[in-house]
Structure 1
Amino acid sequence: MKAQNYEIQKDAFAHTFSIVARDTATGEMAVGVQSHWFSVGSVVAWGRSGVGVVATQSFVNPAYGPRGLDLMAAGYTASEALDSLVALDDGKDYRQVAFLDTEGRTAAHTGEKCVEAASHINDTNFSVQANMMLNDAVVPAMEKAFKDHADLPLAERVVKVLQAAQEAGGDIRGKQSAALLVVGPTKVENSWEDKKIDLRVDDHAEPLEELDRLLKVARAYEHMNRGDLAMEEEDVEEALEQYGLAMEMFPDNLEMKYWTAVALANSDRLEEAIPLFEGIFAEDENWREMTRRLPASGLLNVSEKELEEIVN
């Protein structure tokens, strides 16, 4: 890698708390972060499936993200990658950075001039770090939360860690934005397959509450996506199961109700489908017009008479 000194990025002033972590069961890797700074996820959180994750904060040098991932992709361990970049950085005393690779090896750096309270704790499969915190209890609370919630999926576990940090005192300035990024254990051919979860709350009075809500919505839509795939494969029963699980999570969501109704109609279960359609149309007439358009796209396989029965 070509040697280069990295100047302090005056426009990336993200004092914050974060975690990089790996799930030993799935191999997934994640970054979670909250800060009193607008759109913290756009500068702090970096990840690449089959490579690793990076959190770069304090006086942020965004180059640590892509360049760190490139080094780990080239075979550097987390500590080798971080050490090589810190050695080239004239602003290293102002930086706070954490790397994690696919083997769960972690490395962290907290510069001497990071604003107190600033520290990190890193171990196998996770590193927690924070600067400009209200007190010294934040980072130990994050470590404890990560260990206490080992039974949760990685994304939900990371949210618990962020919540524990806030409960322990959090950023001395308050809170404004948060982000959650999850990537997979193996490299992918297509860039659009790289991120399993990519959620950002750029500006919110309660960013962690909103992040937690968005994660629940994302999980529901994972079931919706599986239902859509099942419909493509003409496996209506699997589609109904997946749509049903999504609808249980968000019973007031018209989208989830609607595709459940469509799946029922496609499996010759009009008696069950029609009450769902009626309820949806009563709330929003646009879905009635949507239903008229579906047969031409092959998404609703009913006769003209059955279609009229549904929409009327």
Structure 2
Amino acid sequence: MKTFIVIVSLLLAWVPSTAGTETSRRSEARVFSGRPVHTYSIVARDPKTGELGVAVQSHWFSVGSMVIWAEAGVGAIATQSFVNPAYGPEGLALMAGDVSAPETLRRLLEKDPEAAVRQVAMVDAQGNAAAHTGNLCIPAAGHHQGEGYAVQANLMLDDGVWPAMARAFETHAGDLADRLLAALEAAQEAGGDIRGRQSAAILVVRGQPTGRVWADRVFDLRVEDHPRPVEELKRLVRLSRAYNLMNQGDEHVAAERYDEALQAYAAAERLVPDNDEFIFWHAVALVSIDRLRDALPVFRRAFLMQPSWWLLVPRLAQVGLLPDDPEVIEQIQSMGPEASPPPVVPAVAAQDEEHR
């Protein structure tokens, strides 16, 4: 069933009551389709890498599931206010057919009978940006277009939000994801959504498609419900960078580029130094390139942080991820706490034991 959101605007027209001495106020309701995803967002293209990205924050649950859209080598779109999610896939389809972002937006608005309540922005693979703020978007509402980007906001505390986003994006150093996040932070510092904050999301795709959609996404992260969503989103971006480096390290090992692999693993650990999984798999990689002596202290660090890694070692030997050599496995496990950590008790079993 189609969702309808009712916005009531009071007409300050006083009419006589049936008693002749009292007055009553009539109200008239406007009905708009769509969900009220009032928010602020940014779409942009990085001229150096060709990456395309979109980021958003709102006082609305799971804002990223409706607002942000992007496709490698095509464009990025944000659709918000009384959101019509169809602007996302339909806009990308038009831009994929070599229609520019400004022309794509014009065509979509032209056929939308409720364009007055939409706020939409998009950027194409050539860096052409376009934005629209309908005259019935809830104030403070507006947008700003710059070279290769657009920022837009509605239901803000005041009209200083989107100019602050533009300044932050233009002046911040870093890659596209860093600059998108800087714009979101600037919006919050300038007052942000008048209702507060709840969720945030970022989507960055490659400038050229690889033919594998999953590989085209540089960042695809959402914070669905959090008291400080942009801070949490920044943490997730940092963690995602670290995992990307670990994946690169694995690819280098597979290609026998061992020095590059170790550099990637070390860079990942610098980003997230307290991640025991990174440390463990770094040690496994060292063994795979015949550097057992270097791997042993790294294994010990992982075992001290999480003893259950000790239990995994012989299982990896069974499937070929570690040498099927009892002496090697014994040396690795000798790095464990007292060389024999306590058995791991599943949480459910532990709870059952407590109730006996």
1:221 equivalent to 2:236? Answer no
Distance 2:321 2:257 in 1: 13
Identify the match of residue 171 of structure 2 among 148, 167, 170: 148
> Residue 275 of structure 1 corresponds to which residue in structure 2?
297
**Number of residue pairs matched?**
304
Q: Which has the higher contact order (CA 8 A, sep 6+)?
A: 1
Identify the match of residue 180 of structure 2 among 151, 158, 161: 158
1:67 equivalent to 2:67? Answer no
TM-score after normalising by structure 1: 0.94
Say whether the 8 Å CA contact 1:8–1:61 is kept in structure 2: no
Aligned residue runs from structure 1 range 148-227, under 5 A: 148-149=171-172, 151-227=173-249
> Residue 275 of structure 2 corresponds to which residue in structure 1?
253
1:108 equivalent to 2:131? Answer yes
Following superposition, the deviation at residue 13 of structure 1 comes to 1.5
Which has the larger displacement, 242-251 or 109-118? 242-251
> Residue 117 of structure 1 corresponds to which residue in structure 2?
140
Distance 2:254 2:319 in 1: 12
Say whether the 8 Å CA contact 2:318–2:324 is kept in structure 1: no
Gaps of 5+ in 2: 1-30, 335-356
Identify the match of residue 240 of structure 1 among 255, 262, 268: 262
Distance 1:185 1:272 in 2: 39
> Residue 14 of structure 2 corresponds to which residue in structure 1?
none
Aligned residue runs from structure 1 range 67-86, under 5 A: 67-86=90-109
Give 1 or 2: higher strand fraction.
2
Following superposition, the deviation at residue 233 of structure 1 comes to 2.2
Say whether the 8 Å CA contact 2:42–2:152 is kept in structure 1: yes
Distance 2:52 2:117 in 1: 26
Distance 2:207 2:289 in 1: 37
Distance 1:205 1:290 in 2: 37
Say whether the 8 Å CA contact 1:50–1:188 is kept in structure 2: no
Distance 2:302 2:170 in 1: 44
% of aligned pairs identical? Answer: 50
> Residue 32 of structure 1 corresponds to which residue in structure 2?
55
Which structure has the larger Rg over C-alpha atoms? Answer: 2
Say whether the 8 Å CA contact 1:99–1:108 is kept in structure 2: yes
> Residue 4 of structure 1 corresponds to which residue in structure 2?
none
Distance 1:156 1:301 in 2: 41
For residues 219 and 304 of structure 1, do their structure 2 counterparts lie closer, same or farther at Cα, with a shift above 3 Å needed? same
Q: CA RMSD in A?
A: 1.4
Say whether the 8 Å CA contact 1:8–1:60 is kept in structure 2: no
Moved over 3 A (4+): 7-10
Which has the larger displacement, 294-303 or 27-36? 294-303
TM-score after normalising by structure 2: 0.82
Distance 1:239 1:260 in 2: 9
Aligned AA (1:270) = L
Aligned AA (1:300) = L
